[in-house]
Amino acid sequence: MPNVGSYEASLERSEALKEQLAKNPQQFRMLTGDRPTGRLHMGHYFGTIRERVNLQNLGVPTMILIADYQVITDRDTTEHIQDNVYNMVMDYLACGIDPAKTSIYTHSSVPACNQLMLPFLSLMSESELQRNPTVKAEMEASGHALTGLLLTYPVHQACDILFCKGNIVPVGRDQLPHIEATRLIARRFNERYAPVFPEPEALLNDAPAIPGLDGRKMSKSYGNAISLSFTAEETAKRIKKSPTDSERVITFDPENRPGVSALLTTAALCTGRTEEEIAAEIGAAGSGALKTYVTTSVNEFFAPIRERRHAYENDLNYVKDVLHEGIRKATEIAEATLNEVREAMGMVY
């Protein structure tokens, strides 16, 4: 038996949850979010967006948060934030997030959600906050001193999840400590005052991390990502520049041939074929032929998504309407929850 709380345990639990989600979608409320720091890329799409669309279409009530306040946890600018937020809505819609089923909103626009921060902060000790490994890693990566917001943002994330009584949270492995903090906060609030909150569970993706074109994790900051908003030409250019090696015959070997293998995985994701099958087919035709194949696969797969995205780019008013309606719904839910919280705490005057 894996340790409770370990990655393996979470993965096992996620598999069980997936079965329940398919059987009883209405018992769940799914909440996920992304920071609006740039355009969504293929890593986001195959890592989580595709799964969110599936669950939405299964009938799981869904909310998608654009976590704008979290942008300033480890950086000192909100430059381009409005543009990033609108573009993120376009990316979601283009990928199949349906505003009739899913609310998309920014948390800075929902004061009642943010107000949960005060009672929730009182439920965590300083040393519990200091121990969070993801916070530590983000602080080190930022090169900044630990800000008060970075230290307490897992508590803010608990507000994001609990304001709508979210009980299922699709996240990557790095977010598990925050889900643990959220569960702790829910439990402590319920014990101290009255049972208001569910203890949410993480839904981990079992797909391996999506490699960027150089074999490292796909990330905008590494310049190895293919954004959903790229044109076919930009995609071709980025793939053409991706690093391969001097071995002619194409084989799938992520350890020793990270560049070639990342290209194979990219094509595999877009075609539904296996890396080995594609490698065998290309064989001695070499990396030029592989790149041509990858470019075609990616551009064919994303063509309909990109076409929809263009339509939204030309209709910013619609994009804003979607966001405003999402904010309206989130506000309604947050106010109801905040009222329950005030009542549970006896703060009714």
The beta strand positions in 21-72, using DSSP E, are: 30-34, 62-66
Radius of gyration of the chain (CA): 21
Cα 118 to the center of its chain, rounded Å: 26
Report in angstroms how near the CB of residue 65 gets to ligand TRP at its nearest: 6
Return the closest-CA partner of residue 203 out of 162, 179, 170.
170
- State the first-to-last Cα distance of the chain, in angstroms, to the nearest integer: 50
Binding site for ligand TRP (CB under 6 A): 31-35, 65, 67, 70, 157, 160-161, 169, 171, 175
Contact 344, 193 (CB under 8 A): yes
Residue at token pair 């909103």: 105
Report in angstroms how near the CB of residue 134 gets to ligand TRP at its nearest: 8
Would you say 85 or 169 has its CB closer to ligand TRP? 169
Residue nearest ligand TRP (C-beta atom):
33
Neighbours of 184 (CB within 10 A): 16
Would you say 70 or 229 has its CB closer to ligand TRP? 70
Report in angstroms how near the CB of residue 175 gets to ligand TRP at its nearest: 6
For residue 104, the cross-strand partners are 64
Would you say 132 or 261 has its CB closer to ligand TRP? 132
Return the closest-CA partner of residue 255 out of 207, 210, 208, 215.
215
Report in angstroms how near the CB of residue 349 gets to ligand TRP at its nearest: 31
Would you say 139 or 263 has its CB closer to ligand TRP? 139
Would you say 49 or 65 has its CB closer to ligand TRP? 65
Give the 3-state secondary structure of residue 107: helix
- Tokens standing for residue 325: 């309606």
Report in angstroms how near the CB of residue 159 gets to ligand TRP at its nearest: 9
Would you say 202 or 319 has its CB closer to ligand TRP? 202
Report in angstroms how near the CB of residue 33 gets to ligand TRP at its nearest: 3
